[in-house]
Every structure is written in C-alpha cells, then in structure tokens.
Amino acid sequence: MYSVSVSGHIFIAHSLKNEAFGPAARLHGATLVLEAEFSRPELDKYNTVIDIAEALRILREITQTLDYRNLDDLEPFKGKLTTIEYLASYIHGEFRKRLAGRFNGLLKITLRESPQAWASYAAALRA
C-alpha cells in the first residue's frame, strides 16, 4: 500500500454544549493539526498516489473556511457537537466533494489536539 500525507493547522473556537463535556461546554479555543493521508494499493499512471500540490491546495481551501472562526457561528455546524471526531469526518467530506471522480483510494483525516490526543476518520473515495 502506498501513501502520501499533507498537513496544515487551524485555530478554531467552539463550544460543546452538553454537560458531558464539562468545561469544554463553554466557548474555548483550540489549535488543531490536520493531516490528510491518501493511500492506494497501486500507483496511478504518473507513478503517484495523488498530486501533492493538488492535495495541499485542497487542504488550504478547506482550512481557510475554518481557520480563526467560531464553529458555533458557521452554518454547517449549527446544532452540532463539533468534537474533533466530528470535524475529522466533516473535513473528509469536504475533500470528497473536491476530489469527486479524481481519486480512487483511502483518505484518512487526522486532527491532533495535542501530542497526547487526536482523532481520525477514514473512508474510501472512488473515482
């Protein structure tokens, strides 16, 4: 299995409005390191997993919509508990939209909240 990863980071604010989250139920900030790992069993006709420049461009497009934002104010997150697991799934979906029909393989999104805590979401994309 071949893989290529690109990374970036976002600064967000959000609140997890449920008593189960204790102090995180209040508005707070987070710095999240985002990793997008593309995998496939075979290289494409150009001997690549994915064009790294394209993967980075898409990553920047997605992060620009989230960076320095209060997620509670953004339409896609209204009424949602924006846990890092949920955000990983959301970002995966944004990549899926932008790569529709152009990447055939596994995409794994990992969000690192700290060196001790991170969450991932992985699913296949079909060209």
CATH number at residue 100: 3.30.479.10
Identify the domain containing residue 98 by its residue range.
2-125
**Rounded Cα distance, 25 and 116, in Å:** 21
Q: Which amino acid is at 98?
A: R
> Closest Cα to residue 41, out of 3, 97, 95, 9?
3
* Number of domains, the chain: 1
**Rounded Cα distance, 5 and 105, in Å:** 13
pLDDT score recorded for residue 78: 94
pLDDT score recorded for residue 127: 75
pLDDT score recorded for residue 81: 96
Along the chain (127 residues), what's the average pLDDT of each consecutive run of 10 residues?
A: 97 95 95 98 96 97 97 95 97 97 95 96 92
Q: Quickly count: other Cβ atoms within 10 Å of residue 107's Cβ.
A: 22
